A and B are shown apart, each in its own frame.
Chain A
Amino acid sequence: MNQLNIEERREGTFTVLVLTGPVNSYTFTEFQDRVYRTVRETDTAVDMEHVTTLSSAGLGALMVALEDAEAAGKKLWILKPSEIVRLAIESTGFSDRFPVTRTLKGLA
């Protein structure tokens, strides 16, 4: 499957972007546009449970989105990362920059 699907739902104060498929050099711009727009307006969670790969381009977009969220006084969490997403984050050496959670309960 080489298409990234992005669905949106609300959970408390959060907008949850639910990603399904690969976030790679081919698909990351769609994710980047969506998450940059969302973090400026609302607390955001990116549900990555069904992400099948995460490239450096996608990770870079997440890192910029984290800075944008902070500048806008909003929160950005990575929700339920898949095993390969966890590995990709770890491989950057910047794991401590990525706020990861299994649930938004208590955060919303």
Chain B
Amino acid sequence: MDGSPPRILRSAVLPADPEAVPAFEDWLDTIPPTRPSLGNRIRLAGGEILDNIVRHSRPAGGLIRVRLRASGDSARLSFSFRSESFRDFVRNGPDARNGSIARTAYDPGSRRWRGLGLVMIARLTDDVRYRSGWPKDRIVAEFRDFGASSCTPGTGGV
């Protein structure tokens, strides 16, 4: 034992339905803890990404593969799936971090805040990439831990 943090490489297949988010949280609970601040960001941002995939992309085959790679002070969380509608999303706003889609608005008709999840994803990750292509569509989120339990400053276009 050299005391260095363990390398983690885990994957799982999640249902592409409302059960996906609780299944994702259960899966995270089975993984050895990284730094708490990093783990919280992965849990929050991952849940938002997954919820958006399920609600807006309607993956074919009803499945989403999630993979977490973590080592020391960084982690990469990726989701892969197949979706026709995801292509349009990527075409219209490929990068939530550039501020073009990471904005919130209150919809008085439904009494709901729109876009809050995308803002959270942008501020909780150090980088997020949306890729549409054969054989899989992918969303890859990168996290780096700078020691403080906080959001990435100055990002998200809010």
Contacts and interface: CB of A to CB of B under 8 A. Distances in A.
B117 A56 contact: yes
A71 to B, nearest CB: 12
Interface residues of B, number: 31
Contacts, number: 86
Contacts of B156: 93
16 contacts: A2-B22, A22-B22, A22-B25, A26-B22, A53-B47, A55-B21, A55-B44, A55-B47, A55-B117, A56-B117, A87-B151, A90-B123, A90-B150, A92-B104, A92-B116, A93-B158
Nearest to A87: B40
A90 B151 contact: yes
B149 interface: yes
A83 interface: yes
Mostly, the A contact residues are helix
Contact of B51 (A55, A63, A86, A91): A55
Contacts of A79: none
B84 interface: no
B113 A24 contact: no
A16 interface: no
A52 B47 CA distance: 12
